[in-house]
Structure formats: C-alpha cells, structure tokens
Amino acid sequence: MTEEMSPIETAKYVAARRAAEFVQDGMRVGLGTGSTAAWMVRRLGERVRDDGLRIKGVPTSTATAQLAREVGIEVVSLDQAGWLDLTIDGADEFDGEFNLIKGGGAALLQEKIVATASDQMIVIADAGKEVETLGAFPLPVEVIPFGWQTTRTLIEEALDTLDVLGTSVTLRMNGEVPRVTDESNHILDLHLKRIGNARQLALVLNQIPGVVENGLFIDICDKVVIGHGDGRVELRDLNDGTVETDQPGENGENLFSDLTD
Ligand code: 5RP
C-alpha cells in the first residue's frame, strides 16, 4: 500500500504521525482540517483504540468531526472543552517566523478560533509548504454572503494601498455555485503573489464590514513538523529555536506499519 503513496502524501503522513506523539493522556486537543490533519486524526484514533489514550477532540470542521467520530475519538465542542492543551493542524504556507496561510479547505474560521484557544499550536506540513514570504498561495478570506460583491470591492480598494504584488480577488466556487463554509459563509481568494506585511494586511482585512476572518495566522503557531518525501521529519520549535530531524525508520520502527496489510 505504501508503494502507492506519492512523495507528498508520504511527507504529510510522516509529519502527522510524528506530531501525534505530542498528544498525551487526558489532553483536550484541537483537530485540524485537511488531508494532513486527517492523517493525524487517524493516528490519534489508533492510539485511542490500541493504547487506551483518553483525549477529548475539538474538530475544526464537520468533515473532521465525522472522521474523528469514525476513528473513535471523543468529540466535544470548543465551549464544552473551554480551553485546549494543543491544536494540530495543516497549513497552506508557513514562513520562517511560523506565520501561516490557512483556509485552503475553507475551514479557516473554526481553525483560527480553535488554535487561538490552545496553549500550543503545532503545524504539520510537507516541505513544499515552506516559503520565504507568504502570498504565492491565494489568501482565503471568509465573508458573509450578504453584499459579498461590495465586500470584494472594499477588499480590492484596501489592497491597492497595501504592500502586495497582486490585487485580484475571486469567489471560491463549488461547481456552479459559491462554496459555502461550515458557518454558511463564502470564501474570497486573494491572489496577492507576495505579502510584504502580513500583520498589517490581517488587521486591515478584519476591519472591512462583511469580512468574518482572514486566513493569516500570525503569532499563533509554536512548532512546525515538516515531512519529506523520503520519510524524514523535521521538528522546528519557535520558542526554543531548536531543530531536530528524525530519519525514516529510526529505532527499527516501520513508519508505515499501520498501512501495510
Ligand atoms: C483547511 C486548511 C488546511 O490545513 C490546509 O488547506 C492544508 O491542507 P492539506 O493538509 O490538505 O494540504 O487550512 O482550511
């Protein structure tokens, strides 16, 4: 089965698996959304089933909630959990200061609320998500459906005054109709190419009426676990400045044991 995994999928898988080791018994854990986060949720499900790990999971989307339940994780709402020990989530881009673009899966609103309500956020990503400057990935912005075209115009006007390279804004579609988020909103994708000042952009966007939240995660992420296509995993910690690298199959472990029949 592992032969069928592309290098990118392998990278996501090993990063997710390594990050799941940070989850300890009794923790309240924010569960991210996307294909990398899904590997992490499955891994936590295994630990619940096989090792008796007891955790409460707060999902960041209906898709993650469904998967978490399927794999046997106890799912609670953020309000039931109150505060979280740790959130593990994917990202579309991360820079050297661990600032992120998120929302490629349209779940940025719940993802940002959940990550902000956590003692620690760990991002899991394949190495291709690392950038020097954010912005090549279109920045998702969640807007309410009412007057979304006016909101788009206001965003375009704001972009003209900011340090970005591109200013085109598109409505994310799901076939013929606008993509609808879990909060019944729309997503505008901002094709900025390069974001000179992410902190300023995030603040300006959230001042515009109709904008619910933007996909820039500034000063939220503490650690990044980066997977590589050959199974190597790199662990970077922003707070203590450390970088560790695990080689594939260190300690004789078969990283893919759960995937082989
Ligand atoms: C969803 C997200 C995802 O974390 C991001 O899009 C990365 O997804 P993937 O792990 O599938 O590459 O922000 O809103």
pLDDT by residue, tens only, the chain of 261 residues: 456 899 999 999 999 999 999 999 999 999 999 999 999 999 999 999 999 999 999 999 999 999 999 999 999 999 999 999 999 999 999 999 999 999 999 999 999 999 999 999 999 999 999 999 999 999 999 999 999 999 999 999 999 999 999 999 999 999 999 999 999 999 999 999 999 999 999 999 999 999 999 999 999 999 999 999 999 999 999 988 888 898 886 654 556 666 654
CA of 260 to the centre of ligand 1 (A): 26
33 lines ligand 1 (CB under 6 A): yes
At 39, list the tokens: 């590997």
For residue 79, what are the CA distances in angstroms to 32, 84, 112, 115, 221? 17, 10, 15, 14, 21
**C-beta of 133 in contact with ligand 1 (< 6 A):** no
Q: Which amino acid is at 178?
A: P
Ligand 1 centroid, distance to 90 Cα (angstroms) = 5
- What is the model's pTM? 0.94
168: β partners: 191
Domain residue ranges of the chain, discontinuous segments joined by +? 2-131+219-259, 139-213
Does the CB atom of residue 34 touch ligand 1 within 6 A? yes
Mutate to test the pocket of ligand 1, among 10, 36, 122 (most ligand atoms within 8 A of CB): 36
Instruction: Measure 124 CA to ligand 1 centroid, in angstroms.
Output: 10
- What is the model's pLDDT at position 30? 98
Q: Are 2-131+219-259 and 139-213 the same fold in CATH?
A: no
> Does 32 contact ligand 1 (Cβ within 6 A)?
yes
Instruction: State the Cα–Cα distance between residues 85 and 163, nearest whole angstrom.
Output: 36
CATH number for the domain formed by residue range(s) 139-213: 3.30.70.260
pLDDT of residue 99: 98
Residue 35 CA: nearest ligand 1 atom is: 11
Count of CB atoms within 10 A of residue 235's CB? 19
CATH for 2-131+219-259, options being 3.30.2130.10, 3.40.50.720, 3.40.50.1360, 3.20.20.70: 3.40.50.1360
Q: What is the pLDDT of residue 168?
A: 97
Q: 9 CB under 6 A from ligand 1?
A: no
Residue 9: burial class (beta carbons within 10 Å; 0-12, 13-18, 19+): middle
User: Which stretch of DSSP H or E encloses residue 187?
Assistant: strand 186-191
The string over 25-63, giving b where at least 16 C-beta atoms fall within 10 Å of a residue's C-beta and e elsewhere, is eebbbbbbbbebbbbbbbbbbebbeeeebebbbbbbbeb
Return the residue matching tokens 């020990």: 85
Q: Are the C-beta atoms of 107 and 91 separated by less than 8 Å?
A: no
Q: What is d(CA 50, CA 60) in angstroms, rounded to the nearest whole number?
A: 25
pLDDT for res 256: 66
C-alpha to C-alpha distance for 180 and 170, rounded to whole angstroms: 14
Q: Are 55 and 23 a contacting pair, CB within 8 Å?
A: yes
Q: Is 104 in the pocket of ligand 1 (CB under 6 A)?
A: yes
Ligand 1: atom nearest CA of 126 is 12
- The two three-digit tokens of residue 151, written as one number: 């909101």
Q: Strands 100-101, 168-171: parallel, antiparallel or unpaired by DSSP?
A: unpaired
Annotation says 111 is catalytic: yes
Among residues 4, 70, 74, 111, the one annotated as catalytic is 111
Measured CA to CA, the distance from residue 195 to residue 89 in angstroms comes to 22
* 207-223 CB burial, b ≥16 within 10 A, e <16: ebebbbbbbbbbebbbb
Nearest to 94 by CA among 132, 122, 58: 132
